[in-house]
Chain A
Amino acid sequence: MMYLGKVYVSYKPSVFDPQGDVIKTSLHQLNFQGVESVTQGKYFEIKLVATNLTEATANLVKMAEELLINPNTETYQYAIDEIEVL
């Protein structure tokens, strides 16, 4: 089976994200005065083959924790669905 995993990586709230801060300043300059905070993260789309959803999910979690994030500063969320192979 083919699966599509989507992994969203973001900084832990305790970690300062200077890019987010600069983007926030720019948004204020564009008159979006209501912007309270901006955090820039990372988004990955991973297509993978697995025998079932449980195995695909376990693999995706392992990938996220072994490479995609640095647990010192980052956390992640994910979604995974079976996709059709054309």
Chain B
Amino acid sequence: MRVTVFDYGAGNLHSLLKALSVTGVESLVETDPVAAAAGDALILPGVGAFGPAAARLAPGRERLRQALDAGLPCLGICLGLQLLADESEEGAGQGLGLIEGRSTRLDARSLPQIGWNQLEAVTDVDVRTAELETAYYANSYAVRPANPGQVTAWSRHEGDRFPAAIRQGQVLGVQFHPEKSSWPGLAMIRSFLDNCR
């Protein structure tokens, strides 16, 4: 299978690409959002800010949305998860709107949230398969889905309980960085890809 990684131009994809290669899949970095829809699976990586990334996504937004609606498997990581939702408090522009809801700032004194946070109420098949219990985060915003039933794992930062993972069919968005969450994180990526083969 060939996995396409959409590059918003924000930089560092090293660890993600290496994580994909150790899971044994061929990956292609694509800066054109229309072309990004052409792989067997799409990865929306977690580097950058919402506004600029949404702007880079805009020319291919409809095409990508159609592909996701038609069943293209997609893993959204951190900002990538936020781009699956409608919009964000962080910046202007539209996400893909696949997940109904918007991103808001975490309600906490200590921001950004940087570090390893525990996952709770985990129902997601890939997170469970990987036995991923503590994951690495670097975020200030989180998606608040209109339908909390889509949330398949939660984390808590200070008093704010926020979605760690949101699932809709073949689309999985995670607020943490599996590619920075050591071997259980890699196992989660592997499980996700195995399940979309």
Answer whether A and B are interacting partners.
Answer: no
